[in-house]
Structure 1
Amino acid sequence: MDHALSLELDPTTIAADPRVHDLSEVKQSGMAWVKSHVQEVNSWVERDGFALLRGLNIVSTNQFSTILETLFGERLSQYIYRSSPRTALNNNIYTTTEYHADQVILQHNENAYSNVWPMRMGFFCVIPATTGGCTPLADSREVYRHIPAELRDKFERLGVQYVRNYGDIDLPWQEVFQTESKTEVEHYCQQNEIEFTWLDDKRLQTKQWRPAVMRHPKSGEKVWFNQAHLFHCSSLDNQLSAHMRDSIGSEFLPRNAFFGDGSEISDQDIAMINQVYRDLTFAYPWQKNDILLLDNMLFTHGREAYTGTRKVLVGMAKIASA
């Protein structure tokens, strides 16, 4: 927790940050202001990779979804092929990942383990935590540049193979794919280049190869865009003992990540990647009614541990694929 708090930018730094837009003097409702400033707000995100809108008057979840649809210029996307538990609200607004308050959620680009992902994300702080609970950010371009060259080149050459076993410890396949139908699961996998194996009537295993590095479609810059560090078995240490890891076997853990050729990624490699993220991560303390707009390829996000009640919502759009 001490480390998480150290990520927070101080008030003086925040006040001088051009990516934080203080709109507390706006007399209109948040919805009315956004409707008259769509181009301007989108230009902020395109220029900086994210924009924090602070001080707008927003009164409901429905208003938040309307604000996002107005800015994104389309309906929000349904969240299928999930990797974490969350609750769906109205109009494809979701709670952020519902892990215990004492757990840290590592930095990640949403759905970077998939061949489809949102280019735009919007977060809305309904209730800030008593302490902690920030949504830290890191620049994916800088992460790419700071990964040691030998390791970065190996990932870039081989890509990542994600292996998931749904059920007892991880999410059930019914929640991940948002269906009770095995046929629908199989169709989704076939359409999205996911290998699948039914281990028995209830257990499903999937494998998917994805690149570790992508180019941003507008800027052409290389970004570190994968979730190898989140899926890797070393990230399960707070859930599974070493004995359980060994007895289950690396292929049958709830989730695991390998190099694209199937070879193992060492714990040391993952530790190095996580250190790069720690070195580059920064955070703004949430305030009630804050909206954080994010280019999901340019910036990662995560969650600090926290105390008290915390409620942050998210919506996604502009689906990209490769």
Structure 2
Amino acid sequence: METVKDVIRIGKPLSRGNLRKNLKHWQLMLFILIPLIYLLIFKYYPMLGAQIAFKDFKPQLGIWGSEWVGMKHFDAFFQSYQFERVLRNTFVISLYSLIAGFPIPIILALLLHSMRGKRFKSLVETVSYMPHFISTVVIVGMIMQLFNPHIGLAGVVSQSVFGQPLPDLFGSPGSFSHLYVWSGIWQNAGWGTIIYAAALAGVDPAQHEAAQIDGASRFKRILYVDLPAIMPTITILLIINAGNMMSVGFEKVFLMQTDLNLRSSEIISTYVYKVSFVQGSNFSFASAIGLFNSLINMVLLLIVNGVTRRMGGSSLW
């Protein structure tokens, strides 16, 4: 029996007979319908609300009844004294997270794959996966307790070893990005190795055997056998991460913010929250900022995807 895929592949027109035959499998089509409805309701329908960014939204008038003002809110954001600060902070933290955090799961996955002792390998995997399941609130609380200059472990060690108290890192604008990025790496590095471990599981053992016969060391086998095997996966994940580069997580940044480190911790997502709920109810202004941030992510995604495609590597399209 010819399926729809077969008809399209061989170039035959989809006749009524073929369509009727495929409709007999309506139970399978229902499985496609469920995620399609989910996408339409929760992903595409909310896009209609993006027009708030071009209107003076008033709840009593609704989205469609509010006055159209064009680029008014975008111009207000571009001319705001906060524009340069929040854009710079968001970009710096995102780029820092990408540069420092992206290679570590790859390195960890390669090291775990080359381990011989199964028990030790399982122990390392379990220990590295565990922080991922700790909630953001608990992670931030742990960081605050650890780096407390008076009662924290780091503060006590600094006082005992160096004879001087630890500086207040949460009150230092220069320390915020380091605390945010490296605590995130500690929390998610182990979990990030799962995809690479799955890709490494598909490497043909005969390649390693041939490399060993040729006298290749373990490091060279990692470099010339394992790494090229997962390179398509690395490229795809790099493109996806680049597309989300400006979408720094709101919860963790907001919990780590203090009045002293606000100069380096105010990012687009926290600024949108404050404009929407703390400093007033300017939903149109907040929507304009969020739409601008999404446009930057889309441009970065297109650029990175185009660069990887021209270099002959894998790409999303």
- Structure whose CA Rg is larger: 2
Structure scoring higher RCO (CA < 8 A, sep ≥ 6) equals 1
Which structure: greater strand fraction?
1
* TM-score, with structure 2 as normaliser: 0.20
* TM-score, with structure 1 as normaliser: 0.20
Which structure: greater helix fraction?
2
